A and B are shown apart, each in its own frame.
Chain A
Amino acid sequence: MITLEVDGRSIEANAGETILTALKREGIHIPTLCYMEGLPPSGACRICVVEVDGAPNLTPSCSYPVAEGMKIRTSTQKVIEARKTIVRLLLSNHPDDCLYCSRNGKCDLQKLAQDLGIRRRLYHGKKTSRPMDVSSPAIIRDPEKCILCGRCVRMCEEIQGVSAIDFIGRGSRAFIGTAFDEGLNVSSCINCGQCILVCPTGALSERSYLNEVTAALADPDKMVVVQHAPAVSVTLAEEFDIKAGKDVDGQMVAALRRVGFDRVFDTSFSADLTIMEEASELAQRIKTGGVLPMMTSCSPGWIKFVEQFYPSLIPNVSTCKSPQQMMGAMIKSFFAEREGLDPSKIVSVSIMPCTAKKFECTRPEMAPNNIPDVDYVLTTRELGQLLHMFGIDLNAMDEEEADTPFGERSTAGKIFGASGGVMEAAVRTAHYLLTGKELPGLEIQPLRGLKGAKELHIEVDGLKIGAAVVSGMGNARVLLDQVCDGRDDLQFIEIMTCPGGCINGGGQPLGADLDAVRARMKMLYKIDREEDVRVSHKNKWITRLYDEFLGQPLGELSHRLLHTHYSKRDDLLQ
């Protein structure tokens, strides 16, 4: 332990840590722009400077290590002036259009300017002029709002292992872009949207489909059906300034009805359906000597990733569509038939914690006969905006239940929202399918938690099963390389694109730190603990769906509606 003196009081710090982390633990807030929790500091923006006695200049707290007896002053006139100058310089090359900006009210730069009391433009200069990149179905980039902090670049490279974007050019002409400055749609971008979560300004945002959805809601000839993903109900409250970790499932269903959706379905139902198909596929692959380890296919960022970077592993990926697409397929087949509706009269909307889902629903293989399974995808953030637009206060809603036939779920489908959840749900059902008995205790602790890579080795009826769970594509690369090098003790791998799973998806409410993500995760497992139906195969409506329509898992109809295939992407610039 090291003792520091900060603003006249004494605090303790660990040897080797930076001034910033020590101060943060003590509740002393230092503003940051380029700093990223858990990554080595880049020290680029200098907004976190403090005064250290004996140092000739101001010291960047994010990158300077603590030392015994160090005397630090965090908000002297000199420090405040330096921070003001930095913000003024950033603003000198920033559009003054906060009112029209997607980040208005949630922007780090705006907050800094407000906190530091900057009231007029002090520096005038030539502003960067670059066109917006609107080529991607998922992510919009506005280079004019970029302050070059580099957080998106580091997220894309160091956490996700994708490197779709980097700094291009140098000096005052530098900007962030893809290889050969082409559109994101032809780059190696996997649409995960993690860059949006770390962007301090409005330079990155999701492509919004709110206009299309509100137009459909207003069209009397359309039946507008909505599904919501497992990880949405535990984060939506944050859009209404409620602390992370509250579940608002019932209120959200009521709010969606109030907005005008004709039916509200729960994607956790189709997560249960995914488990029935996927567990059967796994059992079949094990019995018939199919390609192993089988890899999950729920996460569309990961699907594009494997198509680009590991095409040799495509046969390992489960042929199951994701729960979103399974629900979409069921809505436009079974549901349409049941309601006596032409599928083209149905507008299928889904609320997802994800930006890659926007890309997924545009994939040609997800539109049999040119009728897309899912028409529009909104993120949790967009749903928050839609409710605000319609003047709906989530807190004032009485809880309501989702509609039949796709409103009922097991908690196994619900925990899909956290990394490890799909695997846990699959193991519960696979255990039942293989032994005829329920898994004792049902909970599988080694698969839970926010660690990037988790493993489980169990024996079911003498059959050794190795299961691995990874989240974040950087972590996935490590495991995939082992598989490519011949590692053979694994039968089943769950891969989630976003670190921690969908609870930390690229479409989730902004400003969540690790504690907030953990709170979201705990809520999912609390739901699992407290409800009665905890395995997918006990979901009554799943049983009815197979009895009345699908026949059996992996049957002919399942194959046509619920399964698909993926193929190598020959994008030139990866």
Chain B
Amino acid sequence: MTDTGIDLILEKHSGAGRDALIPILQQVQAEKGYLSRETVARVGKHLNLPASKIYGVATFYNQFRFHPLGKYHITVCRGTACHVKGSGKVLDMAMKQLKLKPGQTSRDRMFSLEVVACMGACGLAPVVNINGEFHAKVTPQKLAMIIDQCREEELTNAEG
């Protein structure tokens, strides 16, 4: 089980102790998009930490994911301003359309859904971010349309 990306990260942290856990997990996630069972086991061997401990620490924070990202990674803001402007219904629509719960990725790895507390774009509430691109003042209907567009784009890509 060798993985050069992870090897490089762990090399940078040679001789590190348990205090290096979170930076290592962040770098691994930046490289791989998520924390897999294999990477958790690798990091555990490197830091001499049991996997249950690493999983416990990682699940404490919202920033870590345990499933690969979808091709379209949809982030719904549930911060205060977005909440007041109706992001709850937007999230419901996303869950219904994608048949996913926050933190999950669809089986075809096309979509993944995530909830965040605030993106710092409260003036545009409710905000949805898809692959880094911000969508402002999103209503449930607007989100359903955006998701449809993504699906259509995929179909044309597949045909073309």
Contacts and interface: CB of A to CB of B under 8 A. Distances in A.
A167 B41 CA distance: 18
Interface in B104-148: none
A574 interface: yes
Given A180-B37, A572-B41, A573-B40, A168 B56 contact: yes
Interface in B25-43: 37-38, 40-41
Contact of A573 (B41, B56, B59): B41
A166 interface: yes
A165 B52 contact: yes
A351 B54 CA distance: 37
A178 B59 CA distance: 12
Contacts of B38: 572
Secondary structure class of chain B's binding surface, majority of residues: helix
Given A169-B60, A573-B37, A574-B44, A163 B55 contact: no
A171 to B, nearest CB: 9
Contacts of B52: 163-166, 177-179, 187-188, 573
A363 interface: no
Contacts of B54: 179
Interface string A348-361: 00000000000000
A573 B54 CA distance: 10
A166 B56 contact: yes
Contacts of B41: 572-574
A170 interface: yes
Given A179-B40, A180-B66, A574 B56 contact: no
Contacts of A163: 50, 52-53
A177 B52 CA distance: 8
B21 interface: no
What range describes how many residues of A lie at the interface?
A: 20 to 34
Interface in A547-574: 572-574
A188 B53 CA distance: 12
A168 B40 CA distance: 15
A551 B50 CA distance: 46
A180 B55 contact: yes
Given A180-B66, A573-B37, A574-B50, A170 B55 contact: no
A451 B119 CA distance: 56
A188 B56 contact: no
B40 A166 contact: no
Interface residues of B, number: 15
A179 B51 CA distance: 6
B41 to A, nearest CB: 5
Contacts of B44: 573-574
Contacts of A164: 50, 52
Interface string A387-407: 000000000000000000000
A179 B55 contact: yes
Contacts of A181: 55
Contacts of B55: 166, 168, 178-181
Contact of A170 (B40, B53, B60, B66): B60
A245 B89 CA distance: 64
Nearest to B44: A574
Interface string B39-82: 01100100000111111100110000010000000000000000
Nearest to B45: A574
Nearest to A178: B52
Nearest to A179: B51
A181 B56 CA distance: 10
Contacts of B40: 179-180, 573
A572 B56 contact: no
A334 B37 CA distance: 47
Interface string A137-178: 000000000000000000001000011111111100000011
A166 B53 contact: yes
Nearest to A165: B52
B34 to A, nearest CB: 12
A403 to B, nearest CB: 45
A296 B44 CA distance: 29
B44 to A, nearest CB: 7
B97 to A, nearest CB: 25
Name which of A166, A167, A178, A179 has the most chain B CB atoms within 10 A of its CB. A179
Contacts of B60: 169-170
A310 to B, nearest CB: 14
A179 B59 CA distance: 10
Contacts of B59: 168-170
Contacts of B50: 157, 162-164, 166, 179, 188, 574
A180 B56 CA distance: 9
A572 B54 CA distance: 13
B37 A572 contact: yes
Nearest to B38: A572
A162 B52 CA distance: 10
Interface string B84-115: 00000000000000000000000000000000
A167 B44 CA distance: 17
A163 B52 CA distance: 7
Closest 8 CB pairs of A and B: A163-B50, A179-B51, A166-B56, A573-B51, A166-B52, A179-B55, A179-B52, A170-B60
Given A162-B50, A179-B52, 19 more contacts: A163-B53, A164-B50, A168-B56, A168-B59, A169-B59, A170-B59, A178-B55, A179-B50, A180-B37, A180-B55, A180-B66, A181-B55, A187-B52, A188-B51, A188-B52, A572-B37, A572-B41, A574-B41, A574-B44
Interface of B: 37-38, 40-41, 44, 50-56, 59-60, 66
8 contacts: A157-B50, A162-B50, A169-B60, A179-B52, A572-B37, A573-B41, A573-B51, A574-B51
